[in-house]
Chain A
Amino acid sequence: MPSLSIDLIYAILWTLTGLLTLIFMFLLGYTFWTRVQNKYWNSYRRKFRDSYGPKIFAFLEGNAGQSEADALINKLNRATRDISFFLAMLKEMIEIVKGEEREKLNILIEHPRFIDFFQKNCFPVLKGIS
């Protein structure tokens, strides 16, 4: 009877060890995967900002009109990530420039493509209503 209970204890211990090892391996893999992902997106974001920063500056320096805004925004990939990065840059620019340049930023911010983006991503519930 005592040997049986020891066997049972061993079995439980082995099961627990196995389970914990599995959990540990999963967490390790998950940590590694998220780190790789973060590294990739950080590098992508940096490249995106390096590419679009000068384009936004050039837009502000030029005769910014609707057609120029269209040309700039049409260069953007349709991916949600790209649009988010672009909007984040516009938000930062609002805190840097004022006056005429700030008004030019409004042309970009109020672009129909972003309104469409917000409607699709932020207000999916409204889709069925309208």
Chain B
Amino acid sequence: MSTSTSLPGPAAAAPLLDPQAGLPGRTPVRSGRSSSSTPSALSRTSRYKLGNVLVTVILSLGAIVMLGPLLWTFSTSLKTHDAIFALPPQWIPDPVVWENYLRVWSAGPLLSGIRNSLIVAATVTVVGSLTSSVAAFAFAKMRMPFKNAAFLMLLAGLMIPFPTIMIPQFMVFAEIGWVDTLLPLIVPGLFGNIIMIFFLKQYLENVPDSIIEAAKLDGASYLQIFWRLIFPAIRPAMAAQFILWFMAVWNDYLAPIIYLNTPEKQTLQLVIASFNAQYASQTDYPLIMAASFIALLPVLIVFIVFQRQIIESVALTGGKG
């Protein structure tokens, strides 16, 4: 393709004259190429638009695949017992029975499951976020010997998978009588979360040291500096990490299944799993799906409300929580 004639003149001038000209395909360079390949071809802009239509169709089909199973769960949860075995399948329940959502509360310890999950997730994330942010402040802004070594050691801990340490951890908690309580799920989290410390530390690198030095000159204690200067500064970064962490604890399964036996002491994820095991033999799928949908709903709502922050934070940090 020849560019020598078309580049300098009109292509360079066009954006100055017409703000719309910056859009793809408006420059003579590109339209020149398309007309050279097929004489009757559409302009680059229309080709781009056609591509958009095609991509939208494909993405829409994908979106159906992504949401299909979730919608189907909801649809199953509103069916009668006979309707789930109907052939051809009922995509929209007929009749719609909301009764499953009433039945589900007495069919198993769903309410205590929600309560236990809330207790664990809220305690861990609220206290853990505080301890993490205080530590991040010290790591980012305070002088201390062996600071980096300590930080690297904590980071190295990330490499150790939970299954590798779960057996001795279980035995320790068994020895002090914490099995079948929520404490083994709560207590380790209270000591903070290295992923959160890591990101808050990174975030704090952008806060100038001078404001901290100034506060020190004014006689502020380190705790005062943390509360008045650091905490307000890192709040936005913390909020996203907090939500991700909350969802991770809420959705946790391996630690709860190890520690909790009594149905009333189990977290929500375990409760719906035992719903699944218990009612599948009676083929009471509407009930199972109602319980699962209830378990999905809180996180779904949190996600839809905070989706911008969550998506930005994940895209920025790669952290899943």
Are A and B genuine complex partners?
no
Contact surface of B with A, Cβ cutoff 8 Å: none
Contact surface of A with B, Cβ cutoff 8 Å: none
